[in-house]
């Protein structure tokens, strides 16, 4: 949703709830795609004494992204608290890309982007489907949570290979 704040900007003390659809389907976090679902949510926009424009929302975003070890989809919910205040000035209606411009484009408040940016602040960089996820076999790709294989994984593990090199060196 994009909120037209022109009426609130021009009316001291005005406050209004806006309800609309969250339209961002995915974001990129260091190269991996994160799918977002929120549906309809409500944000409150208030003109505080003609001086500041206050924006608040408490959306619950459903996030789906791959497990860092086995790549299966992991779905989590994040309860967010968006709380921002923009100073109201004569220039607020003009786009200023340097200051709050990424959220306020003229009289249009890009509330979806505010929610997505807030999510990026609280989202841990990696997720595991479970704490003891065993990941994929690096040789044949078998999901070791659900099966096993006869691959000699110790040699191909780069950390292990280094240790083996050291032992080989000591032999000489
Ligand atoms: Zn996993
Ligand atoms: Zn294997």
- The mean per-residue pLDDT over the stretch 81-90 comes to 88
Model pLDDT, residue 77: 97
Ligand nearest to the CA of 133: 1
CA pair distance 70, 80, nearest whole angstrom: 28
Ligand nearest to the CA of 135: 1
CA pair distance 26, 32, nearest whole angstrom: 10
Whole-number percent of the chain with pLDDT over 70: 83
Measured in angstroms, how far is the CA atom of residue 72 from the centroid of ligand 1?
6
The pTM score is: 0.80
CA pair distance 68, 147, nearest whole angstrom: 18
Write down the residue that tokens 């389907």 correspond to: 25
Measured in angstroms, how far is the CA atom of residue 138 from the centroid of ligand 2?
7
What does the block give as tokens for 96?
């200023």
Ligand nearest to the CA of 150: 2
CA pair distance 168, 9, nearest whole angstrom: 73
Measured in angstroms, how far is the CA atom of residue 68 from the centroid of ligand 1?
7
């Amino acid at each position: 949703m994009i909120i037209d704040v022109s009426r609130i900007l021009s009316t001291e003390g005005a406050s209004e709830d806006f309800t609309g659809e969250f339209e961002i389907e995915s974001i990129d976090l260091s190269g991996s795609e994160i799918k977002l679902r929120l549906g309809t949510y409500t944000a409150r926009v208030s003109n505080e004494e003609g001086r500041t424009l206050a924006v608040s929302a408490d959306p619950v975003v459903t996030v789906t992204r791959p497990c860092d070890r086995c790549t299966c989809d992991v779905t989590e919910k994040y309860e967010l608290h968006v709380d921002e205040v923009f100073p109201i000035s004569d220039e607020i209606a003009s786009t200023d890309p340097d200051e709050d411009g990424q959220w306020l484009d003229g009289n249009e408040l890009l509330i979806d982007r505010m929610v997505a940016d807030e999510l990026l602040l609280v989202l841990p960089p990696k997720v595991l489907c479970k704490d003891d996820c065993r990941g994929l076999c690096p040789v044949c790709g078998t999901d070791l949570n659900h099966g096993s294989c006869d691959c000699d994984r110790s040699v191909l593990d780069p950390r292990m290979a280094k240790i083996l090199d050291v032992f080989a060196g000591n032999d000489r």
